[in-house]
């Protein structure tokens, strides 16, 4: 009816013309309609202390707005799209690293170690084949590991820079709180994934170093006999 629309107009006018901290009393539903926000957004604002509430019977009423100045900064649709695209790209890169067959590489290291031990037992004190055999055996494996590590290091540096920039944008764009919160959680997941990949690479490098040192000690032991 005309009275309902008049009431709505007056309520909207009062809200949008009031100053920060001014008193009001609106139900959750009324605030949703006038501010055109979701119920979850309202609860998020209440948790952040941006809205003051009172309870009257079984209903909760919003009595004051204490919006931070930065909260008025809006993230454009293009910025949100860019953030989403960047996080998706980072996620795909991490998936490729996660899918790398680390178990096969570990098994290959063990296989080479057993093979080298067998060859070592068959060497005599005057044999010069040990060094050549060891270098040839590990050359391709070492180059593969080195390439993987270098590429990962470069990607990690790029990801870290991207993540830092994304988090800066996220901190400023509080108006798009729900979308930003989702993206922030996604970035944190990517950081965890990045750490897992780094740990796997470190484990492989340590195993490779231990094996190389072990072979060197055995070689020295042979020539001392």
Main-chain phi, psi angles of 56, to 5 degrees: -120, 100
pLDDT at 212 over 70: yes
Is there a contact between 66 and 21 (Cβ–Cβ < 8 Å)? yes
Is there a contact between 84 and 91 (Cβ–Cβ < 8 Å)? no
Mean pLDDT confidence for 104-133: 54
30-48 exposure pattern, b = at least 16 Cβ within 10 A, e = fewer: bbeebbebeeebbebbeee
CATH 1.10.10 fits 2-67, yes or no: yes
Count other C-beta atoms under 10 Å from residue 65's C-beta: 20
Torsion of CA 79, 82, 88, 89, to 10 degrees: -150
Mean pLDDT confidence for 2-19: 48
The alpha carbon of residue 93 and the mean position of all alpha carbons in its chain are separated, in whole angstroms, by: 12
Give 82-113 pLDDT, tens digit per residue. 667 766 766 776 676 666 666 666 666 666 66
Domain boundaries, the chain: 2-67, 72-224
Beta bridge partners of residue 9, listed in sequence order: none
C-alpha to C-alpha distance for 15 and 1, rounded to whole angstroms: 22
pTM metric for this prediction: 0.31
C-alpha to C-alpha distance for 44 and 47, rounded to whole angstroms: 5
C-alpha to C-alpha distance for 131 and 133, rounded to whole angstroms: 5
């Amino acid at each position: 009816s005309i009275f309902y629309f008049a009431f709505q107009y007056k309520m909207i006018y009062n809200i949008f013309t009031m100053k920060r901290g001014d008193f009001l009393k609106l139900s959750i539903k009324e605030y949703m309609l006038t501010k055109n926000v979701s119920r979850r957004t309202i609860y998020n604002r209440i948790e952040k202390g941006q809205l003051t509430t009172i309870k009257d019977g079984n209903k909760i009423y919003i009595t004051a707005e204490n919006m931070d100045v930065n909260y008025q900064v809006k993230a454009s649709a293009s910025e949100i799209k860019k953030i989403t695209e960047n996080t998706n790209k980072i996620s795909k890169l991490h998936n490729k690293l996660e899918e790398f067959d680390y178990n096969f590489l570990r098994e290959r290291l063990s296989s080479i170690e057993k093979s080298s031990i067998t060859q070592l037992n068959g060497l005599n004190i005057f044999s010069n084949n040990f060094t050549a055999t060891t270098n040839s055996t590990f050359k391709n494996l070492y180059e593969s590991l080195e390439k993987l590590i270098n590429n990962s290091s470069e990607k990690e540096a790029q990801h870290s820079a991207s993540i830092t920039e994304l988090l800066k944008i996220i901190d400023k764009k509080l108006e798009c709180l729900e979308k930003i919160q989702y993206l922030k959680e996604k970035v944190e997941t990517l950081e965890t994934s990045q750490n897992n990949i780094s740990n796997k690479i470190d484990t492989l490098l340590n195993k490779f170093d231990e094996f190389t040192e072990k072979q060197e000690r055995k070689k020295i032991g042979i020539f001392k006999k």
